[in-house]
Amino acid sequence: MTLQPLELKELDKHTTNIYEAIVILSKRARQINEEMKIRLNQELEMFTSRIDTDEEIETNPEQMQISIAFEKMPKPTQQAVEDLLNNRLRHEYKEE
């Protein structure tokens, strides 16, 4: 997956300023990353079993397929940027 350049002016259109956009994107990317970790751990739970120290660790092909599929998914930062640019991300300030 290649990196694509991004015009900062595009981000600035969706928020008050560029710094606000960066904070919003970083928070959203963290949320996405946590969701991905939870999903991956749930899918890999069925393959976990106790491994004795004397036994060799064997590679499970199904477990490898799940791991490879998660590696091919878009990165959390890229997803957050796409969400912001496509107006799928809503942000607001807490009132004090």
Three-point CA angle 79, 85, 87, nearest 5°: 100
Residue 80 has what pLDDT?
94
Number of H helices, E strands in the chain: 4, 0
Residue 56 has what pLDDT?
59
Residue 46 has what pLDDT?
77
pLDDT in tens, the chain (96 residues): 566 788 888 888 898 889 999 999 999 999 999 999 999 988 888 776 544 445 556 677 888 888 899 999 999 999 999 999 999 988 888 887
The CA distance from 56 to 29, in Å, is 37
Residue 52 has what pLDDT?
47
Question: Which is nearest to 35 in space by CA: 82, 79, 91, 85?
Answer: 79
Domain residue spans of the chain: 9-45+61-85
